[in-house]
Amino acid sequence: MAIESLNPYTGHVLQRFAAFSPTETEQVLAAAHQAAAAWRATTFDERAAVLRRAAELLRARQDELARLMALEMGKPVRDGRAEAQKCAACCDYYAAHAAQFLADEEISTDAGRSFLSYAPLGVVLAIMPWNFPLWQVVRFAAPALMAGNVGLLKHAPNVPQCALALEKLFHDAGLPPAAFRALLIETEPVAGLLADDRVAAATLTGSERAGAAVAAQAGQHLKKTVLELGGSDPFIVLADADLAVAAKTAAQSRMLNAGQSCIAAKRFIVEAAVHDEFVRLLKENLQALRYGDPLAEATDYGPLARLDLAATLTLQVADSVAQGAVVALAGGQPDSGHARF
């Protein structure tokens, strides 16, 4: 099956990639397993040099990376540049501090001498989402690589070009090619990778459903996992709040990445005494945000990342209205062929 890169703003297919065959996936895994033995033998200084060079490349390539995110998943280029810069700061941070974080720790016991020592695990499988296609990867890769591990990236299928751009960036920074590879695969092969003895651990950012599946599969094989799943914490506005600040913050938080963020404000609980004024101020702030082409510098928010997400949101709005919700501010409904909303 082809993995498709599609522009959600225009609906045009950017590029199609053939998914890795089982043989290709095996070759990448075998090479990563072999590379893990060599990479774990490197010093912190050697690893830090690669991470610092990666940070330099992230800053140097921020414009092209921002453009790629805008084209592939609809993130405005201003936000894309900020994401690349954040990734660079992450690489610099772990390059500077990993040796301290992972230093042996002497502890007091009845033995003559006791200490905690941290050793690399080996191959780490990372299953990452599309909403922050650089940051979600780098925040796993930077500490994992500094700890002496190697990474296999199974990125979301709608951002294959972002995955390959990061792979190239790490290789250009001096990382051995097999120590970080993007796997262009669908969901089905993941279970086999988790079961393979050469994969030591897994990390996932995504839905509760996906997290539960990965946790169950990894648990069967007693493998370590790090999971970051979705949430829906309330945005609470009390009667004594500064409503102007609350409304501005609410609009910014709700529309962060076109609302496609696990930390975005998703539901609002407002005291009755200030409800009407808060809604009025929230509408003003939302109307001030500029929707448009994510490649345009003036755009505050662009389309949703995929056509099916726009269709689902349309159904959710209709269902809410059917259950009694009142539409206080309405935008256009998406047309067929693109994910504008």
Residue 32 CB partners (closer than 8 Å, separation 6+)? 123, 150, 151, 152, 178, 179, 181, 198
**Residue among 228, 271, 277, 297 flagged as catalytic:** 228
Q: Is residue 262 annotated as part of the catalytic site, yes or no? A: yes
Q: Which sign, positive or negative, has the C-alpha torsion 55, 61, 64, 67?
A: positive
Contact status, residue 146 vs residue 95, Cβ threshold 8 Å: yes
DSSP string over 189-242: THHHHHHSTTEEEEEEEE-HHHHHHHHHHHHHTT-EEEEEE----EEEE-TTS-
**Residue among 90, 91, 162, 262 flagged as catalytic:** 262
Residue 235 CB partners (closer than 8 Å, separation 6+)? 250, 253, 265, 266, 267, 268, 269
3-state secondary structure of 117: coil
Question: Which residue numbers are catalytic?
Answer: 228, 262
